Amino acid sequence: MIMQLAGVPRVSLCNLPTPLHEAAGLSRALGGPRIFFKRDDETGLAIGGNKGRKLEFLIADALEKGADTVISSGSVGSNYIRMSAAAARKCGLESVSVLIGEMPDEIQGNLLLDQVFDSEIHVINEPTNEFMCKNAANPNLVGDIVKSIADEKRKEGKNPYILPGAGFGPLGEAGYMVAASEISDQCYDLGIRPRYAVIAAGSGSTMAGLALGLKVLNTGIRVIGIDMSRLRTIEAFTERIVGTARDTSEYFSLPVTLDADDFELYDYAGEGYPTPSPEAYEAIKLVAETEGVLLDPVYSAKAMAGLIDLVGKGKFNKDDIVLFVHTGGIPALFAESALVENLNPKEIRIINV
């Protein structure tokens, strides 16, 4: 697989390999299995996260095509938008962000950082979840708006490159085949043979790339995706993952592709995207208190809530090794106004002198 990716243009944006370490405190608190974290929250680009790996291939493609501007689309709180703006800036490109969702009262988290990168921001001011679901059924909704912004840029004499939403497609998935290869090497070095890898699934592209890479490398690690948004049914989501893996496999002439029974997908979306579930808050608290690791309320905490629930349901044996792929999203913690009341922390004691 590495051979197939060897000639593919790629820019260096991330600190790789990201760490892979045991989460013994969490395993103990849950009463097994052995849990290890793959720390893709530490990819390094502008506070890190999974999208950095995808952008290494996507921004390289933009540069190959002579682009001077990248246009990225996602939700108002999107990590991908934050990271694509950072990646564009690092590579000397202009950044345009097309955001879906209501503007919050206070500009915080990813949206604040988009402004730090001085991205040109356009907002489709519609209810986030409703519009994301509509767009999942008909991607032209956002696609047409993005195309018209690209036309405007061309009229201004620019050469825009439209990034695929969520980094979906072969180039984005190449980033997660690289991650699969890293995981395979790190497990070999640590002398462990994980049975499962648990990961948040939004568009499904990250898990598709990971599962495909792990299959090509014959690691025997089965990917469990946690649907944290419910933009579509599990059946439709499964088809989407199989479909994009097939496209990726063909694009890179890989010897295998993914079948539906190569992975598992579970719905832990709660009230849907981007609303955190009560279980996600509990997961944030548990992982902070047992591992000193931060989860984000939209993606990684729901994925962890799924993992915790599956442990409770007896999905894993006590001596199984389960990788939790932490996909980042940390800036969303700062934009979550309900965080403190849901975590119920100790009262702050004021000292009056």
Ligand X SMILES: Cc1ncc(COP(=O)(O)O)c(C=O)c1O
The single residue of 78, 84, 97, 205 carrying the catalytic annotation is 78
Q: How far is the CB of 28 from ligand X (least distance, A)?
A: 26
Neighbours of 243 (CB within 10 A): 14
Which ranges in 65-119 belong to alpha helices (H)? 79-90, 109-116
Give kind and range of the element (H or E) at residue 21.
strand 20-22
Query: Could you give the C-alpha distances from 129 to 29, 198, 254, 278, in angstroms and in order?
Result: 34, 24, 36, 18
Q: Which is nearer to ligand X, 203 or 248 (CB)?
A: 203
Q: Which residue, 202 or 213, is less far from ligand X as judged by CB?
A: 202
* Binding residues for ligand X restricted to 290-309, rule: CB under 6 A: 296, 299-300
Active-site annotation holds for 78: yes
Single residue of 36, 37, 80, 266 touching ligand X by CB under 6 A: 80
Helix axes 51-64, 79-90, angle to 10 degrees: 40
Binding mask 27-56 for ligand X (x = CB under 6 A): ----------------------xx------
How many residues bind ligand X (CB under 6 A)? The answer is 19
Alpha-carbon distance of 177 to 4, in angstroms, equals: 11
CA proximity to 78, closest of 104, 59, 42: 104
Least distance (Å) between residue 254 CB and ligand X: 19
N- to C-terminal Cα separation, the chain? 65
With residue 244 as reference, give the H or E element that holds it.
Answer: helix 234-251
Task: Name the CA radius of gyration of the chain, rounded.
Answer: 20
Contacts (CB under 6 A) with ligand X, residues 153-192 = 166
- The least CB distance from residue 94 to ligand X, in Å, is 22
Smaller CB distance to ligand X: residue 34 or 308? Answer: 308
In the complex with ligand X, the residue whose CB is nearer, 153 or 324, is 324
Give the per-residue contact string, 252-291, with ligand X (x = CB under 6 A; - = no): ----------------------------------------
Distance from C-alpha of 291 to C-alpha of 274, rounded to nearest angstrom: 25
Please list, in sequence order, all residues whose beta carbon lies within 8 angstroms of the beta carbon of residue 135, skipping any fewer than 6 positions away.
100, 141, 142
Among 77, 170, 204, 297, interactor with ligand X by CB under 6 A? 204
If you count DSSP H runs as helices and E runs as strands, how many of each does the chain have, helices first? 14, 10
Q: Which stretch binds ligand X (CB under 6 A): 199-207, 251-259, 280-288, 316-324?
A: 199-207
CB of 58 to ligand X, least distance (A): 12
Phi, psi of 322 (to 5 degrees): -120, 125
- Strand-strand pairing, 321-326 and 34-39: parallel
217 vs 333, beta carbon nearer ligand X? 333
Q: Which is nearer to ligand X, 153 or 238 (CB)?
A: 238
Which residue type, as a one-letter code, is found at position 66?
G
> Which residue has 């208190």 as its token pair?
289
x/- track of binding to ligand X for residues 205-224 (CB under 6 A): xxx-----------------
Cβ atoms within 10 Å, residue 32: 14
3-state DSSP assignment of residue 316: coil
Residues 308-327 that bind ligand X (CB under 6 A): 327
Cβ proximity to ligand X, 187 vs 301, nearer residue: 301
CB of 265 to ligand X, least distance (A): 11
Among positions 27, 43, 79, 248, the unique one binding ligand X when judged by CB under 6 A: 79
* Residues in touch with ligand X (CB under 6 A): 49-50, 79-80, 166, 200-207, 296, 299-300, 327-329
**Catalytic sites, residue numbers:** 78
